[in-house]
A and B are shown apart, each in its own frame.
Chain A
């Protein structure tokens, strides 16, 4: 039913918003970019703007507070802190730039080669990436520092090299997706060679992703660079470096704790800025991909004021009463009504069909009865009652008393309807303990076995031990029905229970539902797009189209005397039925 919620694929009509316009909607990203730009500019302009050379000492005024001459004060040797901060940024930022550059180039090349060419290139590159990811990078960096005489730039180059395996992995998987896209096919068909396709067509599609990964990695690289500086590796004192300044501050931490926040703060702010740029670019990229008008993960829909719903159903003897019932979903362009003022009743012991094509609102209607609408959907008008018990707009706590106890659900895809991590027996026993009246281990197990037998599963004790992936679709659907029956519900909601199954299995499931109805005097709502199923098993039915009920009546009335042209066309398009009723 998600089809009703998501917008049609990119209509392409939305005016292309410029980069500037999109940026202004992300102030955090702009701020982060500005921070990085300003700090970088200041660091490299240090010789021009720093108040003093970084090593100039003034023994007479150590630990001086901020003043006009020393805006951030002086350190223990009377050196100007601002100057040291500016000069000290140079090894840090240059190191980051080297690491990010190597990271981007190596990661991109390896990723595109293995992801676009696949075949032998991938068979060579993928294991290499695996190994690179497993090598303890920091140790290799330390070894490099030991050998290359504390050269921080070589160390950062090595960092970028090893980290590039991460990027290559990400690029590779995106690349595999992109190579299947139409425009790449088109380029291939038009006779472009792989080299040209990779550089001209594949690379631009990955550029956004690359930028995101680069900025996130910049934060990591800065952390490593300053961490090494802090350990006294790389840039050697008395030359300033950000990590080294934190280390200096730690020496006098008891007397001058604020020192810790100056260098540490700059590192923190820069790291946060890199992180925010990464997140912001990712959101921009997602915006670009997201189709205009598509549903966002939305807030819950508040039911509108409207007219107050009646407190009791018109006919308390009916099993289910649904009146003036509307359901809406919150979409980017406002509320989207998917079920519009429908009214019907289901009698006790009746099999009631809700028929319609996908998008007609039939599944949403069924799920709403159990309070299982997605978070961005809600019942907006009207009410539903089970007997005299209100179902719509009741608390989650109330719903817990209804689900399983009063209404059971059987859903469409048996292969994914059960938890793959637990055996059938484990899940069934949990539900029996929760909603059944059995007490004690043995009684719960007996009840579970009984339920499996009641849905005509052979060898229930064997089925109990099985995991869902070890059973066939038909057996799983029977197990799912057993779960739904555990609490002896008065109403069973079956949402396309046979659609995903083979034809022979389908009739078995329908036979089962029929016999359960007879044995348990249970009402069944059968949601389906298949008129043959309706003809086979239902007593009465409604036909839904675009959220409205267009036809209602007994099965005979619907098939032999359809009033609505849509119903007629549905019948005509189901050959078996059309033939058997002589239409």
Chain B
């Protein structure tokens, strides 16, 4: 029942979006964005899954498989696994930039509250 995974990804995404929309603490907004990112990882990996198949590695397949059955599609989708790898790296990079900017914002405004920063005093 891979639909369960899809629905979990949707709920993770929604939880993340909810905290981005309703929280005012900048760190919690970044945490919400990270949750939304991880929901895409779960979604991509679940989308790559195929029932009764194995990993897309042509080296020593499990007993009932041979390299030719693997090549003809009895594997998880390697392209989506590649996308997930890409998404993870980009997620890490973007989170790093967010955190660096937050440290500078806090040093300048002395608050983590997004609403007070919006007031742009000084």
Whether chain B is bound by chain A comes out as no
